[in-house]
Homo-oligomer: A and B are copies of this chain.
Amino acid sequence: MFGSPPDSGSRVSEIVRVTVWGENVHERTEPEVRALYPEGLHGAIAAGLSELLGDRVRVRTATLQEPEHGLTKEVIDDTDVLTWWGHIAHEEVDDAVVARVHDAVLGGMGLLVLHSGHYSKILRRLLGTTCDLRWRNEGERELVWTVEPLHPIAEGVSNPIVIEAQEMYSEPFAIPAPEALVFISSFAGGEVFRGGCTWTRGNGRIFYFSPGDQDYPVYHHQDIKRVLANGVQWAAPRLRQAPEGSPESPLGWFE
């Protein structure tokens, strides 16, 4: 008798269930951010996904201020892809919620980590590094260059994407070498940054994408919306399945 196939987990629905998580601090406390993002950064990100993907996704939002940051077991179990934006309140995120998200990623949930989310507990925990980088906030032009044109995340995206004003992020970026390096950014000041990177952890796919900041209307940019929509589709799991543990396997178990 043959061994059983590996995909005995629960198969995901055709419609990708997305939860857009937002720290939701800047937009509540800074009028100029609220002016750019009246529905919050999470609201803008969610709207972009719905606009581009329509019936192919079911999008909801969750924020830091909700009980369990809006990421209860029920919500996570009902999420195929989680997007994560945080900046000044990373330390306020409860470790138990981080552990739940981590487990879900290992079990197949996709994860998009956005911009200053590079310093989030969840990304550092998945990657094992500091995720340090250099930065400067002077509203410089950022160019986002596709270096892997065949990658599904780059499909239909202008090359380069031109973002008129942005915060600068630069190398050295303290990450493990990405499995795919999809985009490299340059800035008017001359710096470069590996701003579009993917990794796999357990059954889950992770995409980090750097463009996006509370001080600039980056999430209203059509190409940025397109990258996020592509990223959601790429990260959507084929199946969800908790890690198996380490089963003792008697001689000839597969025969």
* Residue positions of A touching B, CB distance < 8 A: 2-7, 102, 106, 108, 119, 125-130, 132-136, 138, 140-141, 143, 145-150, 152, 154-162, 168, 170-174, 176-177, 179-181, 184-186, 188-192, 194, 199-203, 223, 238, 243-252, 254-255
Contact = CB atoms under 8 A, between A and B. Distances in A.
A3 to B, nearest CB: 5
Nearest to A205: B150
A98 to B, nearest CB: 12
A155 B136 CA distance: 26
A24 B235 CA distance: 42
Given A132-B246, A141-B190, A145-B171, 18 more contacts: A3-B158, A4-B159, A5-B159, A6-B159, A125-B125, A128-B128, A132-B244, A135-B249, A138-B251, A150-B200, A160-B254, A162-B254, A174-B202, A174-B243, A176-B199, A177-B180, A177-B200, A185-B192
A contact face: mostly helix, strand, loop, or mixed: loop
Number of copies: 4
A221 to B, nearest CB: 10
Given A3-B158, A162-B2, A150 B247 contact: no
A132 B245 contact: yes
Contacts of A254: 143, 159-160, 162, 190
A174 B243 CA distance: 8
A209 B150 CA distance: 22
